[in-house]
Structure 1
Amino acid sequence: MQGIPAGFALTAVANYLTAENTSPKIVGTFVAVVGLPWAVQFVWGPVIDLFQSSPMGRRKPWVLLSQLMAFVASLGVLLVENPASQVSTLAAAFFIHSVFASLQDASVDAMAISIIPETDRGRVNAFMRGGMLFGSGVGAAGMAYLIRHSGFFYAALAQSLILLGMTAITCFIKEKSGDALLPWSSRARTEPTATDVPRVNLRGLFAELFRGLLSSQSLRMFGAIIVVYTFLSVFIRAFSVHLIQQLKWADTSLSVLSGTYGTLGALIIILTGGILADKIGSRKLLVIMMFIIGSFLVTFNLLAQFWSDPTVTTTGLIIWYTFDPGFSVAAMPVLMALCRKGIEGSQFTTYMALVNLSDVAGAFVSGHALSWFSAPVIGLFCGGVVVVVAMLVVGQTFLNVRRSPPEQA
Structure 2
Amino acid sequence: MSTTNLPSLSENTFLRYFNFIALYFAQGVPEGMLLFGIPAWMAMNGKSAGEIASFAIACGLPWSFKFIVAPMMDRYTILSMGRKRPWVIFGQLGLMTSFILMSFIPDPLNNLNLLMLFGFIVSFFGAFQDVATDGMAVDIIPIEEQARANGFMWGSKIVGTSSSLALGSWLLNTYSFAISIAMLSILVGFIMLVPIFLKERPGEKTLPWTKGQASPENKKLQVTNWKTIFKSLFSVFSLKNSLLIAIIGFIVCGCQNYMDILLPLFTVKNLGWTDLAYSQVFATSSLIGGISGMLIGGILIDKFGKKRMLNTYLLVLITSTLLIAFLKNFWVNTLLINSYMFIYSLLMVFCNIGFFAICMECCWKKISASQFTLYMTISNIGRIAFAALISPIRTNFSWEISIISFSIFIFISWVLLQFLNINHQVKSIEHLEKKDIESQGMLVTLTQV
What TM-score do you get using the length of structure 2 for normalisation? 0.84
Cα distance in 2, alignment partners of residues 279 and 235 from structure 1: 29
Give the structure 1 partner of residue 407 of structure 2.
Answer: 383
How far did residue 236 of structure 1 move?
3.4
Give the structure 2 partner of residue 159 of structure 1.
Answer: 184
1:268 aligned residue (254, 276, 292): 292
- Structure 1 residues 343 and 190, CA gap change in structure 2 (3 angstroms): closer
Q: Percent identity?
A: 24
Contact 2:301 2:354 in 1 (8 A): yes
Give the structure 2 partner of residue 171 of structure 1.
Answer: 196
What is the count of residue pairs matched by the alignment?
397
How far did residue 179 of structure 1 move?
2.4
Give the structure 2 partner of residue 81 of structure 1.
Answer: 106
Alignment of 1:86-97 (within 5 A): 86-97=111-122
Question: Match for 1:312: what amino acid?
Answer: L
Cα distance in 1, alignment partners of residues 392 and 210 from structure 2: 53
Greater CA deviation, 153-162 or 229-238? 229-238
Give the structure 1 partner of residue 317 of structure 2.
Answer: 293
How far did residue 117 of structure 1 move?
0.9
Give the structure 2 partner of residue 407 of structure 1.
Answer: none
Greater CA deviation, 47-56 or 137-146? 47-56
Cα distance in 1, alignment partners of residues 290 and 416 from structure 2: 27
Cα distance in 1, alignment partners of residues 180 and 28 from structure 2: 15
Give the structure 1 partner of residue 331 of structure 2.
Answer: 307
Superimposed CA distance per residue, residues 228-251 of structure 1 (whole angstroms, 9 cap, x where no aligned partner): 222232233223202101111010
Superimposed CA distance per residue, residues 160-179 of structure 1 (whole angstroms, 9 cap, x where no aligned partner): 22222222343222223432
Question: Match for 1:197: what amino acid?
Answer: L
Superimposed CA distance per residue, residues 277-316 of structure 1 (whole angstroms, 9 cap, x where no aligned partner): 1222212212222212212222221113211110111111
2:261 aligned residue (231, 234, 237): 237
Cα distance in 2, alignment partners of residues 288 and 66 from structure 1: 35
Give the structure 2 partner of residue 345 of structure 1.
Answer: 369
- Structure 1 residues 297 and 142, CA gap change in structure 2 (3 angstroms): same
Question: Match for 2:117: what amino acid?
Answer: A
2:79 aligned with 1:48: no
- Structure 1 residues 194 and 123, CA gap change in structure 2 (3 angstroms): closer
Cα distance in 2, alignment partners of residues 389 and 137 from structure 1: 26
Superimposed CA distance per residue, residues 365-407 of structure 1 (whole angstroms, 9 cap, x where no aligned partner): 213321112232122122133224323433676xx9xxxxxxx
2:146 aligned with 1:125: no
Greater CA deviation, 115-124 or 234-243? 234-243
How far did residue 194 of structure 1 move?
7.2
Give the structure 1 partner of residue 223 of structure 2.
Answer: 199
Cα distance in 2, alignment partners of residues 328 and 375 from structure 1: 26
Greater CA deviation, 360-369 or 121-130? 360-369
Contact 2:245 2:420 in 1 (8 A): no
Superimposed CA distance per residue, residues 154-207 of structure 1 (whole angstroms, 9 cap, x where no aligned partner): 0121122222222234322222343222111112x6544576324342122112
Question: Match for 2:251: what amino acid?
Answer: V
Contact 1:125 1:333 in 2 (8 A): yes
1:11 aligned residue (25, 29, 36): 36
Cα distance in 1, alignment partners of residues 214 and 107 from structure 2: 53
| Structure 2 residues not aligned, in runs of 5+ | 1-25, 425-449
Q: Which has the higher contact order (CA 8 A, sep 6+)?
A: 1
Cα distance in 2, alignment partners of residues 14 and 196 from structure 1: 46
Cα distance in 1, alignment partners of residues 413 and 91 from structure 2: 36
Higher relative helix content: 2
2:123 aligned with 1:106: no
Cα distance in 2, alignment partners of residues 54 and 254 from structure 1: 46
Give the structure 2 partner of residue 405 of structure 1.
Answer: none
Cα distance in 2, alignment partners of residues 261 and 396 from structure 1: 31
| Structure 1 residues not aligned, in runs of 5+ | 401-409
1:329 aligned residue (353, 357, 360): 353
Cα distance in 2, alignment partners of residues 222 and 12 from structure 1: 29
How far did residue 361 of structure 1 move?
2.4
Contact 1:33 1:95 in 2 (8 A): yes
Greater CA deviation, 316-325 or 175-184? 175-184
How far did residue 86 of structure 1 move?
1.3
Cα distance in 1, alignment partners of residues 174 and 35 from structure 2: 19
Secondary structure in structure 1 of the residue aligned to 2:332: coil
Cα distance in 2, alignment partners of residues 175 and 367 from structure 1: 45
Cα distance in 1, alignment partners of residues 238 and 101 from structure 2: 39
